[in-house]
Structure 1
Amino acid sequence: VENQEENQVESFDSAAAESVGQAEEPVNPPEPGTPEPAGERRGFIKFLCAFIGTLISAVPFGAGVWSYFDPLAKRNKGGGDGFVMVTTLDAIPADGSPAKFSVVADKVDAWNRFSNVSIGAVYLRLVDGVPKALHTVCPHLGCFVDYRPGNKDFFCPCHNSNFKLDGSLAVGVSPRRMDPLDIQIRNKTEVWVKFQNFQPGHSDRVPV
């Protein structure tokens, strides 16, 4: 009986030693060139497709955002001070009578920019050698004002308002005088006018 028990103990010890030895054997890394599991490849392909799809979708979205803000960017271009060169001093009559000049500049609407187009007109005249500018639009309802050399005044044909040479109201229904505009002389002879439009029908000048 003792011999049988010793044999069983030895067999148990041998089996335990073999199991421990098997557990401690290191796991060999995959050899170079061994293909990756198919599941990992499919996951990477899905990620790549999703990334490319997101990138393609972002292109038209970015274009839409740019087209929305593009007019705002366009509005910020230009001289910045609002002055436009209209003519030179020698083109204004020396006798003090008014002369009408077109104002040519870049015009910007909601989505477009047009270069060198007429954006309005001004009357220029010399007062003691100093140029003065008046807007050609009547402050009443926005009609164009004519200069009458025979009467030496400005006349609005829409509602018969008369203005003096300095732009003040002589007779009529206009709520204010003709709109004066700021002038600068640059490079000794260039006449630059700060051209802007004003809302008609108001006693005060309200820029458009």
Structure 2
Amino acid sequence: MSTPSTPPEPASSPEDRATRALADAVREIEHHVAAAGWDAPVRVFALVRTQAALAAEPGLAEQLAPEVLEAARADDQHLTSVEQEGVPAAEDLERLLGGLSWPATVDGAAVTVERVVLPPGAEEDLPSDPDAALAALLAHPQRQDVRLAVGVLRGGPAWCAVRTRAHDADDAVGQGPDLVPGLVEAVRATLL
């Protein structure tokens, strides 16, 4: 895993501010999910521009913290995440994401998922039988449990956060735009 990076510096262009807002939203989502502990199910979030959400639903202001309202007033790119309850059951993450679609009022989407990863080359030694491979993977001495948080804006940037169970601390979360390219593209496809 790469070392933690800092989110992009504050900027003035809409694209730079959108990337910054997305990085902030993904970091907040990952922190929220981390507070619930490990061994969690996949969680899915809609991302909406806070100013637009407040204009459409003024009562939302009563549910947001004062600092969130202030940040939203200061930046039209500010995002609010809305966790999706009752996500349909699916056999695997690919089928779940393949069955999701979002209305035009949703500006982006994010997902968190836990995975087990092995160092490069270790997968070559896994048995070909899927059940035996899973057992070997879970028992492998070099396995790493990771939580991936990936967010994508419609027609715009992506941001990822990766936390390992072995280094489970808020200041040890790796971040960047393309840490999990396959998952980025799968989440992006839900917005098409």
Global fold match (TM > 0.5):
no
TM-score normalised to structure 1 length: 0.25
The structure carrying a bigger strand percent of its residues is: 1
TM-score normalised to structure 2 length: 0.27
- Whichever of the two has the greater Rg, that structure is 1
The structure carrying a bigger helix percent of its residues is: 2
